[in-house]
Structure 1
Amino acid sequence: MAITAETISIAAFYNDAEGGPPDMAQTFTNKLQDYYQSNTNLTLVKEDGELQIEGVVTGYRLSPIAPTAANAELLGGNTSALTRLTITVQVTYVNTEDDQFNFENRSFSFYEDFDSNQNLTAIESQLLDRIFDQIILDIFNASVANW
């Protein structure tokens, strides 16, 4: 069956994650809306689109990876050469034309590693851009790639 949807509504995501920049959820929402507008013929509407996406940023986690023994004693314990920033987004997708494609509260997650000596504040927006790009691609593939 061919999908004949012409409209999509993408509700503003909200941030339920501890940490991260205060505008993270809004930035994600804007990038998601832009991606669907650039890569489909769907018209973005404020609400009640034939396709509907909504969600929440549920995770913003920094984790040390790639442990290194160098200077561990001087620094009072474990150190790592790399830190991993992981973002998780929970998404609900509704296709009003064919509910077999719907999903509810599905988690999408991706990460970027960076040198632990770098200042996170200085590189955070670039990390978020790359992470968001992959999560958005995953959401896109899960929702409309079957067209």
Structure 2
Amino acid sequence: MPFQIKAKLKLVKNFLASIVLLAVAVSIYSCGAYSFTGISVSPEVKTFQVNFFQNQAPIVRPGIDQRFTNELQDLIQDQTNLTLVTTNGDIVYEGEIVQYNVAPMTATSQSTAAQSRLTIAVNVRFYDSKDPKQDLEQRFSFFYDFDAARTENEIQQEALDEIYTRLTQDIFNATLARW
């Protein structure tokens, strides 16, 4: 190859490398307060607090309130680099369990329940001390359907696993991922 062609190819390669580098820099810069975990919080937010979610549902099942509180704390710790504190958090979650209900869903030909549904609802208040425009109060609920031949005690662990996984992820998405 003549020298001029080699020089032009090198110039084109350098130009393309510069364009790619610029595109990467612009895309990283445009992310702003977003992180690779998908959360959208101010860079000043370093801590979070989850107050105890008391069970105020008409049906009170012992322990479900503490388990919910712990699972929300665990999810936020697992999916962010925020530090859990017990007071003065930059962001604060509080609320209460407002519904714990088991109801028949489908019937058999003998007019007995074939399937039942456990529904849990949680009222959540979210406060962002660094950006009060992001404050939120919302009710979240989810359910678990099960064969009516099984008792509530038999399904409680697996039901709570599924319901709390969905509830905590929905709360996370609404407050930190802003979905």
**Code of the aligned partner of 1:95:** D
Q: Is the partner of 2:62 in helix, strand or coil?
A: coil
8 Å CA contact 1:65–1:81 kept in 2: the answer is: yes
- Give the helix-richer structure, 1 or 2: 2
CA deviations on 1:39-71 (whole Å, 9 max, x unpaired) are 1000000011111000100000111112221xx
Report the AA paired with residue 91 of structure 1. V
Counterparts of 1:15-94 in structure 2, within 5 Å, are 15-69=55-109, 72=110, 78-94=111-127
TM-score normalised by structure 2 residue count: 0.74
**TM-score, structure 1 as length reference:** 0.90
Cα distance in 2 for partners of 1:146, 1:66 equals: 36
Asked if residue 140 in structure 1 is aligned to residue 172 in structure 2, the reply is yes
Report the 3-state secondary structure (helix = DSSP H, G, I; strand = E; otherwise coil) of the residue aligned with 1:8.
Answer: strand
- Using the alignment, how far apart are the partners of 1:112 and 1:55 within structure 2? 22
For 1:137, the aligned partner's letter is Q
- Give, in whole Å, the separation in 1 of the partners of 2:125 and 2:54: 13
> For the Cα contact (< 8 Å) 1:10–1:47, is it kept in 2?
no
In the other structure, the counterpart of 2:133 is: 100
* SS across alignment from 1:111: strand
Q: Number of residue pairs matched?
A: 139
Where in structure 2 are there 5+ consecutive unaligned residues?
1-31, 34-41
Higher relative contact order (Cα pairs below 8 Å, separated by 6+ residues): 1
Give the corresponding residue for 2:52: 12
What residue is the counterpart of 1:119 in the other structure?
151
Structure 1: runs of 5+ lacking an equivalent: 73-77
Is the partner of 1:26 in helix, strand or coil?
helix
Question: 1-side partners of 2:60 and 2:145: how far apart?
Answer: 16
Report the residue type matching 2:139 in the other structure.
S
Q: Where has structure 1 moved over 2 Å in runs of 4 or more?
A: 18-21
Larger Rg: 2
Aligned-residue offset at 1:20:
4.6
Q: Secondary structure at the match of 1:22?
A: coil
